[in-house]
Structure 1
């Protein structure tokens, strides 16, 4: 018959949970992994949003060019080309809806008859993207960006 008060049996029964040291080691490992992964994730999200904003600028430029073929001027739109073109006349594309609050799309200044500059201005979620702040695209297809390193912004 087994003795319930045997010293080996009571020692096994006492070792059922985690010690504080083991728990702190796990917390430290999770903290280190988070410290490495979170900045990488944030940079990835900024780059993805920037690429989407660039694609949306291209789509808005295509709409502007189609409007030009109708009115023969970038600064006019509407029936009979009687309405002055401003950022308010840009179409509500799906990409603009998807990026609402992240980027604001519009003209940097009201377009002239022969030229325009579209821009995507970053909002609060994209504010950390200092390398490529505001993206621009003009009637000649020239892509630009303001920021610390704008050369790679349109990749």
Structure 2
């Protein structure tokens, strides 16, 4: 017997797509989970997506953001680092990496990532404050003062910058 018009690969492809959603569907489901405060469900969907496409930048970005929201800074470094490798000029990725390292008390790494942000976004006050504080912690008061002054010049009433300014005056 001969079947005319039957393609085994097309049938198996259709069955496969019915069983596992595509990457954009998984990303949408992860975002919906996040909106519904189901961070674990969102992370599961993102992990499924990343198993299909490990370099999906939106999934890496969202996974890093969720892990940071959950104060899982060490875990967040993996997707954020991968995102920064894929998009080396992504200042948001580098800023998030700096914040994670600061929370983990890896101040030299926080400084390294923060300096990358400062070179492309010199007016990003949150980064200036993080840099100033990390420089303060490692004992480099000149750099701490420099970044604190830059932050205060942009936002003179910023409470974090004012607090750092007071600490550096003592």
Pair in the same fold by TM > 0.5 = no
TM-score normalised by L of structure 2? 0.27
Q: Which has the higher contact order (CA 8 A, sep 6+)?
A: 1
| Structure (1 or 2) with the greater strand fraction | 1
| Structure (1 or 2) with the greater helix fraction | 2
